[in-house]
Amino acid sequence: MSTHHSGIGMTSQRTRTRMVERLRDMGIADEAVLAAMNFIPRHIFVEEVLASRAYDDVSLPINFGQTISSPFIVARMTELLRAGSDLGKVLEIGSGCGYQTAILARLAREVYSVERIGPLVTRARARLRGLRLPNIYLKHADGLLGLSEAAPFDAIMLTAATTHIPSSLLEQLAIGGRLVFPKGSQEQHLCMLEKSSQGYTETTLGEVRFVPMVPGVQKG
């Protein structure tokens, strides 16, 4: 069965351009982020039966109780992480389907992405390989431990909600770096943590809804 959807109706470039225009209207101002969203085909990261909804501003299921975040949340978190300047080395906790990973890869020098669910890693790797993005390093591991062998990171993004950031991740964030994550359990807010030589500054932003961060590794 073919998984190639390009050019059909809701998955055309025109649909992607409309999504970007909507994101701009919703307040996304970073043109580099908008260009990345315009370049990466979102529909290849969702199940084929959901391809027609790929560019709607909704989160969609991707199996194993996980979701692909809405385009606005992806753009907003990326915009916060970039803060108007080029990204160097980025760590993403929770590769999921690989869409956020691909967006980051268009904007960063290197993207290290960790996913705890084995089959999601396999699928994300196949999709990302098709896009020929050479600066992505995917690993099947417990994201809460980070990736100490590649640290320090200029920026870290968590794509699942947690009530606190583990010390392992804080240690792997470079001085001057920023960490964007959904914070909370029942009630969640988007948070940005900035690290300086004096310590950490945390900014709380709008309300969000993410699946919870889970420790450990799942093979199947």
Q: Tell me the catalytic residues.
A: 69
Beta strands at 173-184 and 153-158: parallel, antiparallel or unpaired: parallel
Those residues whose C-beta lies under 8 Å from the C-beta of residue 7, and which sit 6 or more positions away, are: none
Q: What's the CA gap between 104 and 153, in Å, rounded?
A: 13
CB 97 within 8 A of CB 42: no
Task: For residue 111, give the 3-state DSSP assignment.
Answer: strand
**Interior/surface letters 88-111, b for 16+ CB within 10 angstroms, e for the rest:** ebbbbbbbbbbbbbbbbbbbbebb
Those residues whose C-beta lies under 8 Å from the C-beta of residue 217, and which sit 6 or more positions away, are: 116, 118, 140, 141, 142
Cα 37 to its chain centre, rounded Å, is 12
| DSSP calls for 189-219 | EEEEEEEETTEEEEEEEEEE--PBP--S-B-
